[in-house]
Chain A
Amino acid sequence: MTKMKKKFTRGEATTFISRKQALKRLQLSLNDFRRLCILKGVYPQEPVNRRRVNKGSSTPKVYYHLKDIQFLGHERVMQKLRDIKAHLKKAKRAKERGEMHTVDRLQRNFPAYTLDHIIRERYPAFEDAVRDLDDCLCLCFLFSRLPKERGVPVEQIRLSARLTVQFLHWVIAARALRKVFVSIKGYYFEADVNGVSVVWSVPHQLGLHDPADVDFKILRTFNEFYTTMLGFVNYRLYSSLGLAYPPALANEVDPSDYCQTGEAHEEFMASLNQPLLSRRGGEAEGNPAEPDDFPDEEAEGAEAASAARRKARAQQRLFNGCRFFLNRETPRQILCFVIRSCGGEVSWSPLSGPGSRYPESDQRVTHQIVDRPLGDSRLSGRAYVQPQWVFDCVNSGSLLPTGDYAPGLPPPPHLSPFAAYSADDADGGDEAAQLPYSATRSAPPDPVELRRPSAAAELEEEDDDEAEDAAKREAAAADAAQVGKQQKKQKKPSVVAEGTQRRTQDAKQAAAEERRLREMMLPKKHKQLYKKMVFSRKRQARESAQLAEKKQKRQRTA
């Protein structure tokens, strides 16, 4: 007789190990383990059967794949983490003993590690890194705006700031900006990085809050990895455009005015208003990455794709020939970035900061961006607009009339280019999303007119009279009250005859009933999925109906 097989010695029970076991196996503290997981991109796994993995117990635990833990065990950074721990211990001991020479020596030989090999390992191709760039940019932009007091090393903050500025410079040079959105949380941008759309957010500048519930240790570790990644990505992006890396300004700048000599380079870089030096030495402007055009594309969304390309091309030269002047109350870096990404020229008062190129009195200025009520002190020959005009122009891909955005007046609503806008129709197309609100506002759509009968209802209408009459007769008693209510509720268009409306209603009802009968025959296998889908659609429809109703109500009261 063969030996009895013991339970939990093979299969899932051995494939996964809990976090505690992993710590023991790797001989790491929880902090170091987390750090390693963040750097290596290792995340917990969800076993198919938790009870089987946990040897019959259902205590909630975090599980890692055994192979992941083995993989972490081969990481050379892990040894460095241990070295650092030992090193800190030694340094502390020496310091307490007053052996300053030892402290000095230890400090000199502090174990340093790089994450280059991890970048290469996690992102074998450049495209992989670009696809994961969203979170990277968000965190780097946050770090670049942190005050230098929060227990975050200044080097990390400065490095983040430098790298994000470098990235913005690339976007400007490549004219890759596609969408901008000003939300109450911050600015959202979408750029086209080598065909991959990358979305990131930048917090508002003023008064970043210090949250008590945030563990900056974790954010720092993420940032450590992301700065390395962003550096390599920047290098690659710069080389693809033929720009010199590390970036240098094409023109000599005069640092004497408003900053120290050592900081001049950084300050002028951060102003985003100077062209970069190309690798050959000249000014690297005017070589935007043109979106490729494939005329004989046979893909399904070929038309939509070519429309997107057309729009992208329009965005790249949107502000060509426009000269902007920014008033001091506007967000300078953001506006400069957006305008220059679309081919415009920007300047501001030299008193606001470095990077100014021409004075306010310059005759060639076409637009002045103002964010406060303006008195009579207006110069002729230029349009005064609010900052939102710039963002709405970029999203629509065309220069909008400036009249709606005059300073001191409430501007038209600012819509998210990332979401479709249509209060009346839940399935609003992409085209509607890209229209600025002003276009929709100028001709407010009448919901009654625009509401198309559904395909099923149309079919029913074509049906023979007998069925209609029958349905009508049957439903008449039941729905007399309901119909009356609905009629009262709906503003009845005068052109629509009552009989037609009732017939349409009956047909609709018949269609709904037919649908209910079909639903009854739904196999059990699909019932849950079907219910979910219908639920979400109904909710969507309900929400958009609520929005439409609110809009109507406001229009009526206004």
Chain B
Amino acid sequence: ALAMSDIKKQPIESPLTAPDEYDYDSSDDEDIRNTVGNVPMHWYTKYPHIGYDTEGRKLMKPDTGDQLDDFMAKMDDPEYWRTVIDPKTGQRIVLCDEDVQLVKNIVRGRVPDPNVDPYEDHTDWFTSDTMATPVTAHPPSKSSFVPSKWERLRVGRMVHAIKMGWMLTGEQRAEARRQREAAARGDNANRFYDIWDRQAGDEDEAIRRKLPYIRPPKKAPPTHYESYNPPEEYLFDDEELEKWRNQEDYERRVNFVPTKYAALRRVPAYPGYTSELYERCQDLHLAARVVRHRVSMDPEDLLPKLPAPRDLRPFPHLRVLQYLAWPEEAQDSQQPLPITACSVDPSGQWFAASGAGGRLAVFELTTGYRAWSAQLESASEGGLVSATWNPCADRPCIAAGGAGSGRVYLVATDRCDRLLASRFAEAWATTSGEQQQQQQSAAIWTILSTEASANGAAITKSRTLATVQLPTAQGGVKQLAWHRQGDYFLTVSDSGSLLVHRLTTRSSQSPLGGAGKKAATAAVCCAQFDPVKPVLYVAEKARIQVYDLAKLTKLKTLKPNARALSCLSVHPTGCHLLAGSLDSRLAWFDLDLACTPYKQLRIHTDGVRQCVVHPSLPLSASVSDDGSCLVLHSRVYADLLENPLLVPVKRLRGHQVGSVGGSGIVRVTACDFHPRLPWLVTGGSDGRIVFYSS
């Protein structure tokens, strides 16, 4: 309205001189030249301009004069009272009468515009009177009188959400906010309640995890090492510290270096505390849990309950004698050659030993006196093996095999009763004539001394009676064993063929296959006669065949669970068998019981060379490459239901103790028991003989 009045005051020019009306545009919007907008104008009090025009140029403030001019105008100008200053332009404006009236009306609280009648009559356009005919004829829509379906659905959804707790009402929301704030402060008082106020019921069972819960193991309790002030001995010395530093984490017994602090206040925070707890948490949720029952028993309880060795006496445990069998051999070649076999004579006074140097000797058992010695084979041929005394006292002779030549030497010995010796010599001389009558022999017998019968003095001298040459294809002799009655002996050759020789007929035969023919069985490792029955035990590489010699049939096969059998020994009753193998096992068979061992003994750490069962006492022994000889108490009961009792009673290491020179371990290669006493003689690879007594 002010702008309107301003325009009215413009001088009215004649149409001719009238300027273009667009120079002073009278339109309301565009009349405002100042473009600052609706801002407080006091912002411009400090500036010479009062705003900007449409072109962006500054609008300078008009000269309003000083206070004196203002006073003069007040005095002189009659229009002064109706003059106001336009804050937008800074111009003085004289209000017209209508404007003055307007201001007055506002001040008095009247209707500003006198032309407006606030109380004019109301024209009732839509009367309340129902007309006879409607203005519009279309019927009302259903929605106009039926409550809104969509609203109902929406309300329904909200009600449901509230019921289900998905949506919060205003009150609930306020409550939740309160709780949130309390939680932020950390004190929502009623958060916790007695959750275990009732016993677990079925509904709990239904939601419970079905698998059994395995409680995690507790952390290991802290040890003295962990103390901030441990005893001195728990601190690492330099060596231990160095060791700890060089160890990997898993090798360390403690994962920190024990440290001693002078005072509690000096103890810093442990750097790995959080990491350790984190590790524990990782274990709790990432590690599989397995229940392992910890054994809290004394290891002593696991050991089998065996009678104490001191209750099982007598057994050989004292080393009485130890000597070199052939000291002259040791002088010749610095390394004494091994003893290959020991055999005690039936009287128990003497024993024979054969060596890899090819010598055979007879010693007195208790004194070590060498009664007789002879070089039968040369060392280069492989020496003698398996010297065995005839177990029958009536036939005092020793059989020994040549390891290289394949020749068996039968040596008559004078170390016995003279009567027996002469009887044997006579018998030998008389039977020697039968040699011609013999049809065929698997081996060639050569009789060396038959004249003995004529010369009475010579018969009691030790001499070689005969040699038996095995077929050359069979190679050297590996093992030799006598029958209990002393008439038969068997030889096992390198090629694994077995021959049985008979003294009285001086003939040889191959019980497992014809001589000269290929053997019917696999290579034989060793063999033994049964002391009682006409039965032959033949060990192959990994099994033992049992043959009946009377019927010439195979009785059974024993499976010793070994890979390279090396020796056999039959119990004097013929009911049990001890078998040793080069894979350091010893198997005890109860022949009436089963074809598998009654007991497997892994008592040696290296191959077993020989095992012997005592002919009369409940003892057995085995010698091994590990340098020891193990004596077992092996009691067999007459009651068939009772198992044999096998108890190792002594490990004899006589060969290691006194041995001098040589390199590495001394192997024990041969052993034999005294026929009646608990005495044992062993021979070793150091050329020594050791005699043990009880």
Contact = CB atoms under 8 A, between A and B. Distances in A.
A258 interface: no
Interface stretch (A308-316, A497-505, A527-535): A527-535
B309 A514 contact: yes
Given A181-B227, A235-B194, A521-B306, A46 B221 contact: no
A416 B226 contact: yes
Given A184-B267, A413-B227, A519-B303, A211 B278 contact: yes
Interface string A101-127: 000000011001000110111111110
Given A215-B278, A231-B191, A554 B233 contact: yes
Contacts of A139: 277, 281
B186 A185 contact: no
A431 interface: no
A351 interface: no
B173 A124 contact: no
A462 to B, nearest CB: 11
Interface residues of B, number: 98
B224 interface: yes
Given A121-B208, A416-B222, A550-B237, A183 B195 contact: no
Interface in A522-558: 522-523, 526, 529-530, 533-534, 537, 547-548, 550-551, 554
Contact of A410 (B221, B262, B657): B262
Contacts of B192: 231-232, 234-235, 245-246
B164 interface: no
Contacts of B273: 142, 185-186, 203, 208-209
Interface in B273-317: 273-278, 280-282, 284-290, 295, 297, 299, 302-304, 306, 308-310, 317
Given A185-B273, A235-B194, A521-B648, A388 B229 contact: yes
A132 interface: yes
Interface in B358-409: none
A182 interface: yes
A281 interface: no
B270 interface: yes
Contact of B303 (A122, A414, A518, A537): A518
A388 B264 contact: yes
A185 B226 contact: yes
A413 B230 contact: yes
B601 interface: yes
A358 interface: no
B533 interface: no
Interface centre among A122, A234, A388, A533 (most CB of B within 10 A): A533
Given A44-B288, A518-B306, A218 B208 contact: no
A234 B191 CA distance: 12
Interface stretch (B128-136, B210-218, B508-516, B676-684): B210-218
Interface centre among A246, A372, A517, A518 (most CB of B within 10 A): A517
A34 B270 contact: no
B232 interface: yes
A517 B186 contact: no
Interface in B211-267: 211, 213, 215-216, 218-219, 221-224, 226-234, 237, 256, 258-259, 261-265, 267
B419 interface: no
Contacts of A414: 227-230
Interface centre among B189, B224, B234, B288 (most CB of A within 10 A): B224
Interface in A61-116: 62-63, 65, 67-68, 71, 74, 108-109, 112, 116
Interface stretch (B31-39, B77-85, B177-185, B325-333): B177-185
Contacts of A124: 200, 204, 208
A502 to B, nearest CB: 18
Interface in A381-434: 386-388, 410-411, 413-416, 418-419, 421, 423
A551 B237 CA distance: 12
Contact of B231 (A205, A415, A522): A415
A470 B269 contact: no
Contacts of A520: 601-603, 648
Contacts of B223: 416, 418-419
A419 B270 contact: no
Interface string A236-278: 1001000001100000000000000000001000000000000
A199 interface: yes
Interface centre among B176, B222, B258 (most CB of A within 10 A): B222
A144 to B, nearest CB: 11
A345 interface: no
B19 interface: no
Contacts of B317: 470, 474
A193 interface: no
A554 B232 CA distance: 8
A142 B227 contact: no
Contacts of B648: 517, 520-521
A209 B286 contact: no
A531 to B, nearest CB: 9
A188 B228 CA distance: 12
B185 A158 contact: yes
A182 B228 contact: yes
A370 B485 CA distance: 98
B209 interface: yes
A522 B209 CA distance: 44
Contacts of B213: 41, 122
B423 to A, nearest CB: 42
Contacts of A116: 195
Contact of A521 (B263, B288, B290, B304): B304
A302 interface: no
A35 to B, nearest CB: 10
B43 to A, nearest CB: 30
Interface string A182-197: 1111101000000000
Given A120-B204, A518-B306, A372 B263 contact: yes
A523 B221 CA distance: 35
Contacts of A213: 275, 278
A200 B238 CA distance: 33
A419 B224 CA distance: 7
A467 interface: yes
B378 to A, nearest CB: 36
A38 interface: yes
A185 B299 contact: no
Nearest to A42: B209
Contacts of B168: 109
A541 B530 CA distance: 52
A530 B303 CA distance: 8
A126 B200 CA distance: 11
Contacts of A45: 288
A474 B267 CA distance: 59
Given A155-B186, A182-B264, A236-B194, A209 B271 contact: yes
Given A184-B227, A205-B269, A209-B272, 16 more contacts: A41-B213, A109-B168, A134-B218, A182-B264, A203-B269, A203-B273, A208-B274, A213-B278, A218-B282, A232-B192, A235-B195, A414-B230, A415-B231, A519-B303, A520-B648, A551-B231
Interface of A: 34, 37-38, 40-46, 62-63, 65, 67-68, 71, 74, 108-109, 112, 116-117, 119-126, 129, 131-132, 134-135, 138-139, 142, 154-155, 158-159, 161-162, 181-186, 188, 199, 203-211, 213-215, 218-219, 222, 231-232, 234-236, 239, 245-246, 266, 329-331, 371-372, 386-388, 410-411, 413-416, 418-419, 421, 423, 437, 463, 467, 470, 473-474, 477-478, 513-523, 526, 529-530, 533-534, 537, 547-548, 550-551, 554
The 9 closest A-B pairs by CB, nearest first: A418-B221, A158-B186, A124-B200, A46-B288, A183-B226, A550-B233, A551-B233, A231-B192, A413-B231
22 contacts: A67-B209, A68-B209, A74-B207, A182-B264, A183-B228, A184-B227, A184-B258, A199-B221, A203-B273, A211-B271, A222-B285, A236-B195, A414-B229, A415-B230, A416-B222, A423-B231, A478-B653, A517-B306, A517-B651, A522-B303, A522-B304, A533-B302
